[in-house]
Structure 1
Amino acid sequence: MLGFVLPDPGADIGWQYIEKLLMNNKLSNLLLGDEPTSGADGCGKIKSLSIKTPSPMEALSGSCLWIPCTYKVSPPHDINTADNVTGIWCKDHHDCHTDSQYMFSVSGDPSKSYPMNITGNLKNKNCTTMFYNLNKTHYGTYFFGVKYSCFQATDVQYYLHITIKDSPWSPTIEVSGKQTETEMVTITCSAVTPCPHAPPQLTWDLHQGTAHITETSGTFTTKITQNITLTDAHDGLIIKCNAAYPVSGRLKMADSNVTLSVSYGPKDTSVEVSPSGSLSAGQSVTLSCSSRAKPPVHHFTWFRHSSQGPANVSQGHTYSFNLTEEGQYYCVASNTLGNQSSPVITLTHYVSSTVDLLSPSCLAIAP
């Protein structure tokens, strides 16, 4: 803040001068250090310019970069829409005079507006800019300034930092919703889009949808989406998405993949009999129940059909018993998502029979 000493009330310097300063709002500007300073041409440099733009920003070499930008001038200064407003970008230094060695781009001057072209309406305080055909030399810090009427201003506190990369960004795959059989999920593949005029082309191994571009807080994203009703067959499915960025007449490629992990109830439940083949009465028999499920089966229940209906005869993965009578058996496999019954098996047995041969002495011979 500038120091200011009030004159002696009895001095001839006069309070009329101070009153005049107050009326013109110049005394407060002096005290706040916000008074335009005069240049050699008599014009002022406004100290109260500020811009708003995302920083840092990253661009793909050979492509373009869309830079959302707005600015404001603090009171008592403002833009006169009747005046011609010039926007200036200077690189690596805040000296944004139109004759400065750091001047990089000047709006309204075809010889100085490429590759950084200000497309926003500067009179409406919109300094949005399109930066074309970036390369490694464009890495750096950029300051923004405006010039109108007899005043010029540069934001020396806030700046835009741009980085350049040779390889494109890998797309992002997101699965929204619960990955459980019968549930519908939305699968989205998205890719950052610094240059909405040349967005990446997205493809994947699902049914090809229509890509669309969305904007969030001044940054663009290209997306494709697909809705899928899940089954157990989707468990372990690898979904791959590819992003192709158009750059200088060719494409730069990047891809990503994600593996679905779908939970489901018991499937393919079946019973195996040991020993296999013919069984004899009283023989020891073991029945084994198998099923695939995710999460795994945590409970097996065995049933035997009777005249009164199914009877619970055992628990566990296997059921062993001595076969004394024929019967029909099945198992039920259960996990947290459901249960499934196996097909019914029928166990039969054969009974061994013996024939006693009569001795010759017991035979009666007819005459």
Structure 2
Amino acid sequence: MIRTELPRHSARRARHAAVVLALALTALVAVPTASSARPAAATEVVTWAASADRLDAAVPGRTHRVVVHTSAGGRDLRVRLSNAFGEQPVTFGRAYAGPRASGAAVVPGRNRALTFRGAASVTVPPGGSVYSDPLPGTVRPGADLAISLYVRDAAGTATGHRMGLQTSYIAPEGDHAAEESDAAYTERTTFRHYLDAVVVGAPAGTGAVVALGDSITDGAVSTPDTNRRWPDFLAARLRDDRRTSLKGVANEGISGNKVLGDGAGVSALKRLDRDVLSQRGLRTVILLEGVNDIKATPAPTAAELIDGYRQIIARTHAAGACVAGATVMPYEGWGEWKESGEAVRREVNAFIRDSGAFDAVVDFDAVVRDPAAPARMLPGYDSGDHLHPNDAGMEAMSDRVDPRALRCSR
């Protein structure tokens, strides 16, 4: 159960908030008309997400403007604010959402106030999270949104996502959440403070894919501010494919993450419920993790890593979702590469391909490896560090995913 503390408001202020919310029937991105009335049945689907982790020290009295790129389109946007790693409560004084114009600026006339059980402010306890109320209006697929969060009170450790590969903005003093101008947002950051999911009401039957991974999924070395991570390319493909009802894509990659051990983020096993199984509309998980376990010292055996995969599969199946296993990609040339690790990688990949434990297999290894040197990445896909693919490699990975294989009966 999500626990929140809501500040008291006078009856006059509550009535005023209700009026403001009613007037906000103008669309978030497009103005609704009689012909675009909400369907009788709709499904909440995650349209954007980023894994929660520990960030820097929490700072009160500032406004964060987090830029996100949607996957699924829909109506009635809601955001999820997380204090998963905080030791103290966090109070958000106000929160707004609107389509981004450019930089930190919001499209004029489109910045809308979010509410939490009808209130403008919400306090999230340590370890907790909270969804906003639905914000009437339409959200387009493949759009940039600006989510503005005024942190009124905070202390201890801030929660958020470190490697955004997307510039967000900070107004270092005061509440500027309602402003459409970028004038107050004088600081830039790639951290995504407090925001960990955005959902929309999509047509009934719409589903979502969650990519659970490490730095390769997080987008390391892809071009910043261009949405060229492999889950971004996948989202564009699913959006344009009329044969699939999978339209939402959530990127739950954390750079340096492992299946079994904590470090850069808690292990995949520990964060599975919060980051993956909690996502609205979840149908299929694509699991691409293991290389950080394999190249660690000491490293697990192939059997230990496979047992971790089996636990993720079992828990995901118990939640009614499918799991597609992605093969671990080659990394010879990276400083931590060893022959012993390569042997583990090949044994693990044989399990992913041949065991039948996964509902589907996405053979990223076959896509990016050099046929002349199978322990290495193809030069055309190599960012230069021999571990992370470049933009072309990210797109090739996406192209390997068969949308039809992402569906199973659960």
What TM bracket, shorter-length normalisation?
under 0.3
TM-score, normalising length: structure 1? 0.25
Which has more helix, going by share of residues?
2
TM-score, normalising length: structure 2? 0.23
